[in-house]
Structure 1
Amino acid sequence: MTPSPITSTGPSTGTTTPSIHSDKGGNEKQIEAVTERAVLPEQLGSELSRQVRHKYASSYRKIFAAIFTVNCAVFVALMVKSNGNPNSRDVGSAASANLMGSILFRQEEFVNLWYEIFTCVPHSWPLYIRKRLAKVFHYGGCHSGAGTAAVVWYLLYTVLATKEWIEEPLTDVLVNMITSWVLVSMFLIILTSAHPNLRRRFHDYFEAFHRFAGWTALSTFWVHNIFSARVTARQLDMSLGAVLVSSPNFWFICVSTSCTIASWSRLRHRTVYPEKLSNHATRLHFKYRGMAPFYGLKISDKPLTEWHAFATIPDTDPESGKIVGFSVVVSNAGDWTKEQIAKSHERKLWVRGAPLHGLLYTSKLFRRIVVVATGSGIGPCLSLLFAGITPRRVFWSTREPLGTYGPQVVAEVKRADPNAVIWNTHERGYPDIVREVYQLVHESNAEAVFIISNPKVTEKVVYGMTTRGVPAYGAIFDS
């Protein structure tokens, strides 16, 4: 079958073809690409070792386990220190510290800071260090690990608070116990709804539970903290203010509350200018601010019930070339996206929080990469392609790329990689994607692979590359 005019396939002649890419300063670099067909190597290790190392022992789970191990060590230390009868204030402080840590890893500026720290190393550092630093996007393990630990600590605190009320049934102690049980109930609702299986199956309900139970817990936390301080003030014969300012709980909850306020205080109703690409996709343009590459934003038309995260693409002025706005590509993947595609008129949508770095920002750590996208996954990749920082090859598999996403999107891909492989699945069927991606790695001598796709294809490519010794990174769906 003759390939379409926009489809590029790797030649098998054994010759070399120079590929031109621009660096961050706009200077062109020529990279000699080896073009003979590569033989896909055998996977490393046994089936069991591959499953354990590359599937079950993910960085996300390692981080989760590390946080839980630290908390277990602290629990043992408290038990030893108190001869098996831990102080409720110490337990409460441990719970509050974990809760603060969990919320911090959902605060945009804090997360961006971690990205900046992990990606600031030079390319002269060994690859085995850089490929591990690139896994900073697994920070969700910190959020869930600290959150789960907070629930366990608070359950223990509530048991101790109930014991104190039984021993001393005063009003302040009673309120302290009741608010503790309310907090534990809210935390258990959040924890249960966040289980990956339930989250995927009932995502809209998960968002509602997570948000409203979280707000209820935060409000109750303040009431609980004040009454708990009153109990302590009476026991130690101190003023309420002195107890509060000397309590770690008070400062932990101040930080947690500030993080929540910081995000929601930036809730804005912004005008959006749609550019309908096809019946399957649309591009939403925002003009209220410029947006540098490698950022994402949350968008909604129902801010209290659901939010949708999209990677932003800088929009430039055709004459000056300056960034004057940004856009997001939306494809048909559910009721909300279908509704946005159907609306072709100018309107307003809600945006919240600060722009957030994502997976593709870590591509800066590598000298050369291969970018893989399927379908609308090309949307987030356009920001990376626009940045032009890292030399890259592109593999994009989709149905009717020109008809679905329009000539401008295709042109942006070809501009970033003149030899991009744009695989039209309508003409050629589905590719052997692991083999095709490895071919591009072989041609360009890339150090890493980045993929934006659905969970099934992402896992297939990441597993197929990492088990052959090629660092590969794809979005995780349980963070």
Structure 2
Amino acid sequence: MGDLNKVPRFSSCRGVSFEVKPQHGSPFDIGPPSQNNRSDQRIWLPWTQLGSYRVFPILSEFQRTGSLASSHFCDLDDDDVEEGDAFPSDEALQVANDIEKQQVQEADQPIQATKRNPSVRKSKPSQSRLSIILLDQGLFTVYKRLFAVCFTLNMIGLVLAITGHFPYAKKRAAAFSIYNILALTLCRSEAFLRIVFWLAVKVLGRPWVPLFIKTSTTSFLQSVGGIHSSCGISSVAWLIYALVLTLNHRDNTSGDIIAVASTILSLLCLSCMAAFPLVRHLHHNVFERTHRFAGWTALALLWVFVILTVGYDPATKSYDNLKGPRLSKRQELWLTVAITFFTILPWLTVRRVPVSVTAPSGHASIIKFAGGIKAGILGRISRSPLSEWHAFGIISDGKDGHMMLAGAVGDFTKGLVSDPPTHLWVRGLRFAGLPYLVNMYNKAVLVATGSGICVFLSFLLQPCAADVCVVWVTKGVEQNFGKEIKEMISGHPKEKVIVHDTAVSGRPNVAQMTIDAARNWKADVVVVTSNPRGSRDVVNACKEVGIPAFGPIWDS
């Protein structure tokens, strides 16, 4: 299994947060940190199905099987984004290179079969995480198809405008750029998408709705990042065209308008370059901050641009036409109002709240908050709200509170272990992601490795529309995640919760385990949270046998 002295890999599951009201005896209780109780009254016992393990209550004289820190990690990369993104984890991106080096080292040390594990598979040569993200997702993914369709429609409109066959677009080229900016804003608006996801579950989450409609909707909603990216590039193209037209008729405009439009164009180009996959992978913090502050600056300048263009009078070469009725009739104004509203709305809900942070191990922390949250909802936290935000999946019983499970893999999450805060900044407007769409199905299998389990625990702790079976591949549950997480996963029927401890059974064939579980459970869909390679393998294996499956993608 590799060198035992290696620093274990762990990553936070993007979108995992917990809120809790103080309540004595509740696992979500925000109280003072306490030491882990090692006299646990439960033990992990083997059972035959799939070679996995279940938690059963036992007498105190039994001892739990010891294990090392988990080497599995869950990479929920979200768009932030994280994101997560996507499910997607900002912290995992910060240490991606270290993880890749460890994967290569582990691949060089083949796993030996033992009496306990005669069927352990030999490890395969490790692929670069970047190659999996960028090159191994296929040429015709839903994300890329949405990108291509949206970009093609924009280019058709642009060509028609240039050739004189679309005079309206030629006259309103700047407005078409703003339309694209509004579309890309909506595709990343947590408030807007929360409504869209809620409507999808409400309308399509009925037994009589055909499965292919549900899976098609899931594919689309998971891949709206393709529209976001395409509209970003298209807005640049339309604005370039608008600037060219303006420069060809300089007598009808002012230098101020040209300067402001050129600055906006430069900021849009900077944001697009920062979002280029290679830059985003290697320098995620640069991408995140560039996107945020360049976007805010461009939005402020957009207001200036709209006001200047409406108020400028070519005849007098002055800004004498700026009147309320004239301004209110311009579509550019209302497009800018909508962009501004959806941009600032999440920030209006930012607040500093008390938290309780405990570290069940040196590799993970549990952050507790007040307030129950619906299963599948994600949240963001920060120590410095203007600097960086980190998205995590939310675990909650839906009543007393919620919490976040954060693997210590980056500066932020390591700081939660070494220097636990008493308060954190949160966004009150939480967002929905792929896990929330599980509520749209009748029966689902949820597959997680390592800390990825956090995003699925809520489906076990509270009543949900979907009947779920959870498959968890991990190592050293109590040692890595603590007694609370262990108790949350225990006490369920063995066919509903399958836990495979790699310390006891070695590395399993997760893809085959998932297929078997889906068939036994008669699942409509499989949702997996793992590292990029793990998610890819499970999703591809399920699709090959006709089982709909979804996992976090690079820019969901």
| TM-score (normalised: structure 2) | 0.72
Q: What is the alpha-carbon distance in structure 2 between the residues aligned to residue 232 and residue 298 of structure 1?
A: 46
Query: Do the aligned residues in 2 keep the contact of 1:311 with 1:383 (CA within 8 Å)?
Result: no
Q: What is the alpha-carbon distance in structure 2 between the residues aligned to residue 406 and residue 8 of structure 1?
A: 22
Q: Tell whether 2:407 aligns with 1:331.
A: yes
Letter in 2 for 1:109: A
Deviation sequence 1:52-73 (CA, Å, 0-9, x none): 9973211112222221122223
Query: Do the aligned residues in 1 keep the contact of 2:312 with 2:320 (CA within 8 Å)?
Result: no
For residue 219 of structure 1, give the secondary structure of its aligned residue in structure 2. helix
Query: Do the aligned residues in 2 keep the contact of 1:65 with 1:145 (CA within 8 Å)?
Result: yes
Q: What is the alpha-carbon distance in structure 1 between the residues aligned to residue 488 and residue 313 of structure 2?
A: 63
Aligned counterpart in structure 1 of residue 334 of structure 2, from 251, 275, 282:
251
Q: Tell whether 2:224 aligns with 1:139.
A: yes
Query: Do the aligned residues in 1 keep the contact of 2:312 with 2:321 (CA within 8 Å)?
Result: no
| Structure 1, gaps ≥5 residues long | 13-51, 317-322
Query: Do the aligned residues in 1 keep the contact of 2:459 with 2:468 (CA within 8 Å)?
Result: no
What's 1:305 paired with?
A: 387
Letter in 2 for 1:206: F
Q: What is the alpha-carbon distance in structure 2 between the residues aligned to residue 62 and residue 259 of structure 1?
A: 26
CA 1:224/1:104 → structure 2, altered by over 3 Å: closer, same or farther?
Answer: same
Q: Tell whether 2:524 aligns with 1:442.
A: no
Aligned counterpart in structure 2 of residue 5 of structure 1, from 44, 51, 55:
44
CA 1:53/1:62 → structure 2, altered by over 3 Å: closer, same or farther?
Answer: farther
Q: Offset at 1:9?
A: 4.4
Percent of aligned positions that are identical:
27
What's 2:361 paired with?
A: 278
Deviation sequence 1:388-432 (CA, Å, 0-9, x none): 422222211112112111232122223455342211122222211
Q: Tell whether 2:280 aligns with 1:199.
A: yes
| Structure 2, gaps ≥5 residues long | 1-42, 52-134
For residue 418 of structure 1, give the secondary structure of its aligned residue in structure 2. coil
Aligned counterpart in structure 1 of residue 139 of structure 2, from 56, 64, 74:
56
Letter in 2 for 1:449: V
Q: Offset at 1:387?
A: 3.4
Q: Tell whether 2:343 aligns with 1:260.
A: yes
Query: Do the aligned residues in 2 keep the contact of 1:103 with 1:143 (CA within 8 Å)?
Result: yes
What's 2:128 paired with?
A: none
Query: Do the aligned residues in 1 keep the contact of 2:313 with 2:321 (CA within 8 Å)?
Result: no
Letter in 1 for 2:236: V
Deviates more, 1:212-221 or 1:131-140: 131-140
Q: Offset at 1:85?
A: 7.7
For residue 125 of structure 1, give the secondary structure of its aligned residue in structure 2. coil
Letter in 2 for 1:193: A
Aligned counterpart in structure 2 of residue 378 of structure 1, from 443, 450, 453:
453
What's 1:209 paired with?
A: 290
Letter in 2 for 1:10: Q
Deviation sequence 1:143-168 (CA, Å, 0-9, x none): 22222211211121122222222xx2
Deviates more, 1:86-95 or 1:60-69: 86-95
Q: What is the alpha-carbon distance in structure 2 between the residues aligned to residue 339 and residue 64 of structure 1?
A: 38
Q: What is the alpha-carbon distance in structure 1 between the residues aligned to residue 343 and residue 244 of structure 2?
A: 28
Q: Tell whether 2:155 aligns with 1:72.
A: yes
Q: What is the alpha-carbon distance in structure 2 between the residues aligned to residue 475 and residue 315 of structure 1?
A: 24
For residue 395 of structure 1, give the secondary structure of its aligned residue in structure 2. strand
Q: What is the alpha-carbon distance in structure 2 between the residues aligned to residue 139 and residue 192 of structure 1?
A: 19
CA 1:233/1:347 → structure 2, altered by over 3 Å: closer, same or farther?
Answer: farther
Letter in 1 for 2:342: C
Query: Do the aligned residues in 1 keep the contact of 2:397 with 2:462 (CA within 8 Å)?
Result: no
Letter in 1 for 2:445: V
Letter in 1 for 2:408: N
Q: Tell whether 2:124 aligns with 1:124.
A: no
For residue 49 of structure 2, give the secondary structure of its aligned residue in structure 1. coil
For residue 397 of structure 1, give the secondary structure of its aligned residue in structure 2. strand
Q: Offset at 1:440?
A: 0.6
CA 1:79/1:155 → structure 2, altered by over 3 Å: closer, same or farther?
Answer: closer
What's 1:223 paired with?
A: 304
Q: Offset at 1:367?
A: 1.9
5 Å-filtered alignment, 1:368-407, equals: 368-389=443-464, 390-407=466-483
Query: Do the aligned residues in 1 keep the contact of 2:526 with 2:549 (CA within 8 Å)?
Result: yes
Deviation sequence 1:32-75 (CA, Å, 0-9, x none): xxxxxxxxxxxxxxxxxxxx997321111222222112222322
Give the superposed CA RMSD: 2.6
Query: Do the aligned residues in 1 keep the contact of 2:444 with 2:526 (CA within 8 Å)?
Result: yes
Letter in 1 for 2:306: N
5 Å-filtered alignment, 1:445-460, equals: 445-460=522-537
CA 1:240/1:9 → structure 2, altered by over 3 Å: closer, same or farther?
Answer: farther
CA 1:61/1:6 → structure 2, altered by over 3 Å: closer, same or farther?
Answer: farther
Aligned counterpart in structure 1 of residue 177 of structure 2, from 72, 95, 101:
95
Relative contact order (C-alpha < 8 Å, sep 6+): which is higher? 2
Letter in 1 for 2:213: I
How many pairs were matched up?
A: 425
Deviation sequence 1:230-252 (CA, Å, 0-9, x none): 33675999932344222111111
Query: Do the aligned residues in 2 keep the contact of 1:381 with 1:452 (CA within 8 Å)?
Result: no
Q: Which has the higher helix share?
A: 1
Letter in 2 for 1:374: T
What's 1:355 paired with?
A: 430
Letter in 2 for 1:457: G
